[in-house]
Amino acid sequence: MSGSGAGKGRVRASTVCIAALLLPAILVAAAGLASAATPQEELVGTLTNVRNLLVAIGTVIAAIGYVVTAYMWMTSTGNPEQRSKARRYFMDVTFGIFLLFVSTFLVQLAQSLVV
């Protein structure tokens, strides 16, 4: 009897994960509804929101890549092949994050020239 109501007050981890994944989309939609701008301004705002969302997703993926690379490096235990592989992954992740921010800068530059 005592275990029958134990789960009612707890928030499940899956609910929190789903809410965390949906929050950016909800915020983007709310930002779009709050403004009464011209269609061109709405398009620029939407593209900016999408760009910011993609940068955030790319940054999270890069952070996960750095963690995996660090784990590979730490567990290499002197194995030069595995250490070389970890070093290559580190350079790949670093190059990816560099491309992410350079492309963001170029898109922002192009936007400022057009608008």
What is the distance between the alpha carbons of residues 19 and 114, in angstroms, rounded to a whole number? 36
| DSSP string covering the chain | -TTTTTTSSPPPHHHHHHHHHHHHHHHHHHHHHH----HHHHHHHHHHHHHHHHHHHHHHHHHHHHHHHHHHHHTTTT-HHHHHHHHHHHHHHHHHHHHHHHHHHHHHHHHHHH-
pLDDT digits (tens, 9 = 90+) for 58-105: 999 999 999 999 999 999 888 899 999 999 999 999 999 999 999 888
pLDDT at 106: 86
pLDDT at 61: 93
Give the predicted TM-score (pTM) of the model: 0.61
Average pLDDT over all residues of the chain: 78
pLDDT at 75: 92
Q: Which of 33-37, 48-52, 77-81, 88-92 has the lowest mean pLDDT?
A: 33-37
Domains of the chain, residue spans:
37-114
